[in-house]
Amino acid sequence: MSDEKNKVLKKIEPVFHQVFNNKKLKINYKSSPSTIKQWDSLATINLFIGIEKLLKIKFNVSELAVPKNVGEMIDIIIAKKN
């Protein structure tokens, strides 16, 4: 499980780099609007759009409403893929 989680993290990391325009940005499960300065509501939307496009998935209303940090985001992605 945590292996899979890590895989997804690595996969979606470039989306964060693109949205925050910073290739060196390290993200982990705890990353959230309170740990990343530029993470505002627009960034959240851009992250979801980027991930949707990258993984060819569509988040529904409740999935978009849930995640408080990157870890929760990944949980939703994994649940969706299974």
Partner 1 sequence: MDQFIEEKYQLRDSKINLKKKKSHAKSKIKIAILGGSTTDLIKNSLNEYLAMNNIEGIFFQSEYNQFYFESINPSRKLKTFKPQIIYIHSTTANIEEFPKIGSNPKQVGKLINKTFSKYKSIWSTLTKKFNCTIIQNNFEYVPFSSLGNLESTKVYGKINFLTKLNLKFFEQSDKIKNLIINDINLLSAKVGIDKWYNDSFYFNYKYTLSHEAIPTLSHNILKIIMSIIGKSKKCLVVDFDNTIWGGVVGEVGSDNIEIGNDTPRGEVFLRFQKYIHDLTLKGVILAGCTKNDYKNAISGLRNKSNFLQENDFSVIKANWKNKVENISSISKQLNIGLDSIVFIDDSNFERELVRSQLPAVEVPNIGEEPEKYIFHLDRAKYFENISLSKEDFTRSSYYKTNAKRESEKVKFKNYNNYLESLKMKTDLKKFEKKDINRITQLVNKTNQFNLTVKRLNLKEITSISKSSDFLTVAGNLKDKFGDNGLVTVVIGKIKKQTMDITVWLMSCRVFNRNLEFALFDCLINLCKSKGISTIYGNYIKSEKNMIVKDFYKTLGFKKIKGKKGLDKWEFEITKKYIKKNKIIKINNV
**Please, what is the minimum distance in Å from the beta carbon of residue 74 to partner 1?**
18
Roughly how many angstroms between the first and final C-alpha of the chain, as a whole number? 12
Stretch that binds partner 1, among 5-13, 26-34, 51-59, 74-82 (CB under 8 A): 51-59
Cα–Cα distance, 13 to 27 (Å, whole number): 7
Cα–Cα distance, 47 to 1 (Å, whole number): 23
* Position among 3, 61, 79, 82 found at the interface with partner 1 (CB under 8 A): 61
Closer Cβ to partner 1, 3 or 37, answer by number: 37
Spatial contact of 5 and 74, defined as CB atoms under 8 Å apart: yes
Angle ∠(62,67,73) on CA atoms, nearest 5: 105
* Position among 45, 57, 80, 81 found at the interface with partner 1 (CB under 8 A): 45
By CB under 8 A, tell whether 79 contacts partner 1. Answer: no
Please give the residue ranges that form the binding site for partner 1 (CB under 8 A).
18-19, 21, 41-46, 49-50, 53, 58-61, 63-65
